[in-house]
Amino acid sequence: MAKTKTTFICQNCGSVFTRWQGKCEACGEWNTIVEESDTNGIGGGPLRSKRKGRPAALMPLSGETEEAPRIVSGIAELDRVTGGGFVRGSALLVGGDPGIGKSTLLMQAAAALARGGHKVIYVSGEEAVAQVRLRAQRLKAADTSVQLMAETNIEDILATLGQDKRPDLVIIDSIQTVWTDMAESAPGTVTQVRAGSQALIRYAKSSGAAVILVGHVTKEGQIAGPRVVEHMVDAVLYFEGEGGHHYRILRTVKNRFGPTDEIGVFEMSDIGLREVQNPSELFLGERNEQAPGAAVFAGMEGTRPVLVEIQALVAPSTLGTPRRSVLGWDQPRLAMVLAVLEAHCGVRLGQHDVYLNVAGGYRIQEPAADLAVAAALVSSLSGQPLPTDCVYFGEISLSGSVRPVAHAGQRLKEAEKLGFRQSVLPSASADLPRNREVAAHEIESLPHLVARVAG
């Protein structure tokens, strides 16, 4: 019998320790280290192969190539995020908070693929078959050829999949529920999650099926255990949403076969997820006209323009250290814009609380939002509402100059489509459309913007 060794593994980052400790030295998280007994060296113990290595063929870098064969779901918002469909023989992780709609999304994808003539197997370790059927009925997916399996043991799952004549897509819902006989740890621990993922990824490569692993994120925002899975799979998608809002965003975090800056937007309804083809309309839907402190940012998500409202509230502070609160944007980036406003434009905000919010719970990752943020801040401070038909974009440098950003033309076209008639953007912006209906006010530096807004 193999000797059982006990190791302590951080459930956040997967680091292995010989003793328990309160804080993981590798990732800095508290209370994430859990004892796992390890019989097969899965947790990092030494392994020794019984067979001698065989030399493999060495290949030149040039030679025949081929496009990764893909399985297209026909759900445009999903196919865009995967980079044109699920890739055969690859493994993909879909992460997200419990209850966000991962099972719903994947059941809809499974049904769409089955309708397209693909063979789909849905392995549910979280819910009983009856429960999955009930959801399928609600999603009008019950009449498709999707096959169900309520199983959590990885050996049993692989044996069942092996029986089947080559499924095109296998969904494992969720990776935290699967367990292998080879390790003694409880399901959901790093050892089990890693062993299960390894086996399923190997299955994907050898069978040519696309395998989708569902992973829950814990309250602290980590995929419990599966942070280690992120490194193993070919692609990682996150399904996100804000409490109180019905829309959901599917975001690529990693993709070996496509771009990583695409998003897919959905709306949760009582019959499942509905695709949102024009996210700008959704994000601008709740707009409060004429209020000071609101600026519309013309942003880009991958290949697609997205317009969102940025709201700022600047108010005199009673605190020794004024409050800086940001939702949906980067805190250090806000600090930078505030510092530039103070240093180069004489806008004093040191005695003011500053609240910044991106409407609808949306999250912006582009520095191009700097100019819109600055406009919202100055507007709130001065009490002057910004024109409601105007969009803003541009990056601000520490010297106070406004730098051009990519895709200016596409941003303006989207603004025009949604009825905007003016824009404030960096001078020397490239590829502006010639016959445009949106006036372009080009500015070179932040003081020009302040003069425009407050003047």
What residues form the annotated binding site for ATP?
A: 96-103
Q: Contact 93/227 with Cβ under 8 angstroms? A: no
CB of residue 199 to ligand TYD, shortest distance in Å: 22
Establish if 103 lies at the interface with Mg ion (CB under 5 A).
Answer: yes
Task: Name the residue nearer to ligand TYD (CB basis): 139 or 284.
Answer: 139
Q: Give the three-state DSSP class for 340.
A: helix
Q: In which residue are the tokens 């050996």 written?
A: 155
Task: Name the residue nearer to ligand TYD (CB basis): 111 or 308.
Answer: 111
CB of residue 215 to Mg ion, shortest distance in Å: 11
- Find how far residue 143's CA is from the centre of its chain: 31
Instruction: Tell the burial category of 104 from Cβ atoms under 10 Å away from its Cβ (0-12, 13-18, 19+).
Output: buried
Q: Determine the interface stretch with Mg ion among 97-105, 321-329, 330-338, 427-435 (rule: CB under 5 A).
A: 97-105
- Residue 405, φ and ψ in degrees, nearest 5: -125, 165
CB of residue 317 to ligand TYD, shortest distance in Å: 39
150 binds, among ligand TYD, Mg ion, none (CB under 5 to 8 A by kind): none
For residue 198, give the H/E element and its range: helix 190-207
CB of residue 250 to Mg ion, shortest distance in Å: 15
Q: Contact 166/177 with Cβ under 8 angstroms? A: no
138 binds, among Mg ion, ligand TYD, none (CB under 5 to 8 A by kind): ligand TYD
Peptide bond into 269 cis (omega under 30): no
CB of residue 272 to ligand TYD, shortest distance in Å: 4
Q: Contact 404/382 with Cβ under 8 angstroms? A: no
Pairing, β 390-392 against β 352-358:
unpaired
Establish if 73 lies at the interface with Mg ion (CB under 5 A).
Answer: no
Task: Name the residue nearer to Mg ion (CB basis): 214 or 368.
Answer: 214
d(CA 15, CA 320) in angstroms, rounded, equals: 41
Task: Name the residue nearer to ligand TYD (CB basis): 102 or 304.
Answer: 102
Number of Cβ within 10 Å of residue 94's Cβ equals: 25
Whole-angstrom CA distances from 398 to 86, 356, 401, 445 are 42, 20, 7, 11
83 binds, among ligand TYD, Mg ion, none (CB under 5 to 8 A by kind): none
Task: Name the residue nearer to ligand TYD (CB basis): 82 or 103.
Answer: 103
Residue with the CB atom nearest Mg ion in the bound state: 103
What contacts 116, CB < 8 A, 6 or more positions away? 72, 73, 74
CB of residue 101 to Mg ion, shortest distance in Å: 8
DSSP assignment of 229-287, as one string? Answer: HHHHSSEEEEEEE-TT--EEEEEEEEETTS-SS-EEEEEEETTEEEE-S-HHHHHHTT-
375 binds, among Mg ion, ligand TYD, none (CB under 5 to 8 A by kind): none
378 binds, among ligand TYD, Mg ion, none (CB under 5 to 8 A by kind): none
Task: Name the residue nearer to ligand TYD (CB basis): 238 or 420.
Answer: 238
186 binds, among Mg ion, ligand TYD, none (CB under 5 to 8 A by kind): none
Task: Name the residue nearer to ligand TYD (CB basis): 117 or 244.
Answer: 244
CB of residue 111 to ligand TYD, shortest distance in Å: 12
424 binds, among Mg ion, ligand TYD, none (CB under 5 to 8 A by kind): none
Establish if 108 lies at the interface with Mg ion (CB under 5 A).
Answer: no
Q: In which residue are the tokens 């097969």 written?
A: 40
Applying CB under 6 A, the residues found at the interface with ligand TYD are: 96, 98-104, 135, 138-139, 268, 270-272
Which residues are near Mg ion by CB under 5 A?
A: 103
